[in-house]
Structure 1
Amino acid sequence: MDFKKIPLRVYFILLVALIFGISSGILFFRIINNHLFVKAYAEGEYKTEKEEGLLKLNVPESYLPYYNLGNVAYENGDYASAVGYYNEALSLFPYGEKECDIRINLALAMCYGIDWQNMDSKEEIDTALVVLYKARDVLLVNNWATEDGEGHRDDDAQQLKEDIDAMIEKLKNQQGDQSKDNQDQQDNKQDNSGQQDNSQSEDDKSQSEKEKRLQKELEGEKKDALDERSKNQDDLKKWGSYSDGQGGDKKDGEDAGSGYGGGGGRYKPW
């Protein structure tokens, strides 16, 4: 066979066909792997091996495997990893509603990552407030949610932003209560120091009454603080109830079984 007689355009067509065949094979591989992942996820099996393999073949929609792996980490309670995956997904320029889905899941993962049961110091409350402010800022990008609720692009993003605002307000109030507790304890120490010169019987009686009063006040304030923490967790859990399609308004083109929210994030994997 004389290769010199084959026109150059034939080689070009063969090359294009080869590239097209390889690209089609990669795309087919991605579709099948992703379908198997989504199917396993729906059945409560959070297998990441095949989805992690897509990170090496991350075109098109290169953000998709990061979003899906973020949902798995979220389901497993590994909120720090979920935040990392969602941030990586956002860095790969998702578009339209998919960007909003990732931002909502990211904000939820940040909120769930807060240790709500341990807010016994000003430092812990301050740390939680920093995280909450960052979570709300995630939702404000591109007007998915807005400060005043006017002109927002997504109702779920706006509602989550308002829930986070409520959590921030509660923590600020708790922060004030914590400062008051510290002041009361300091006043108690000063009172104890000033009473050292009194008779032992009078000192014991006064000290006992003050301790009882302060103890009662502290117990009441701690109960209020625990109630507030539980309320914050309940505010987040209502997003989780959407993961089985039990909440939220169905959007155009969605199946009845696809839902918003916690648990698996706002939406199930793509």
Structure 2
Amino acid sequence: MKPPEEILAAFRVMAPEWIATTAIASLWKVSRAGGGHAVLKYYGARGMGSEASGFRFLQAAPESCAAQVYGLRPDAALIEWLEGPSLADLAIAGKDETAARELVRVASGLHPGTGQAPEGYPRLEDRFDALFRLKPAQSCPAGGKAAIAACQTLARDLLDTQVDVRPLHGDLHHGNVMKAPRGYCAFDAKGIVGERTYELANAFRHPYGRADLIRDPRRIGMLADLWSVEFAVDRQRLLQWAAVKCALSIAWRSKGRLAQDDELDLLAALLSCATGQDLSRV
């Protein structure tokens, strides 16, 4: 599998090494004509769709904490190669608090001052349609039904009272931050406009592969304490966003009808920390 020669020529890159294929694109590590490596992401005739706003966010973000976008066209992007390791690697290796500190440093670096101009970005509230449409199946456990209902109400309240609304990375977590010579940098942005506090919400669910760690109430509390101070956001509101983001991910996987999900226990843990409600025994 190789990218079209025309794409290689347009970006002045060579020697493609296939990395991965996603639902809408294929990725290769390539060599740049001027030296060094990059990632070529090729979307084909369908184009990059909603990922275009993510590249716009990265292009406008400070280079000190974001992967550089070397080239962009409707069907392809050329992005900085980040050697790693990722913050997920760091956390899994037993340095979870160090990874958490690096993550909030990157988040703070992405949002200097008042942030980027918000015009043209997709809205955070539009992403939550899947959660608001989610219905429990008859087989859904009572605790799951209660947790989803609580998050549907909570999400509406949060979205109706957003503060410090600005363009966001939109999917900032341990796996989307890798080490470069200048420090850790974010990549794979979604590019949405919403409350700044939401930026760290998804990171409570990471790193993948450490189900025990992310469900530990002491760890959830540690992240909330650290990130609310270093990112200068309200602690309870941060936890509430974390809970509704977990519920949203469950909704996306459930495709409208929730029977069971592996993160229902994580959702219960996040809700307990955010609201004091213990739904694990409902």
Shared fold, TM over 0.5: no
Of Structure 1 and Structure 2, the greater strand share is in 2
Of Structure 1 and Structure 2, the greater helix share is in 1
TM-score (norm 1): 0.26
TM-score (norm 2): 0.25
State the structure with bigger RCO (CA 8 A, min sep 6), 1 or 2.
Answer: 2
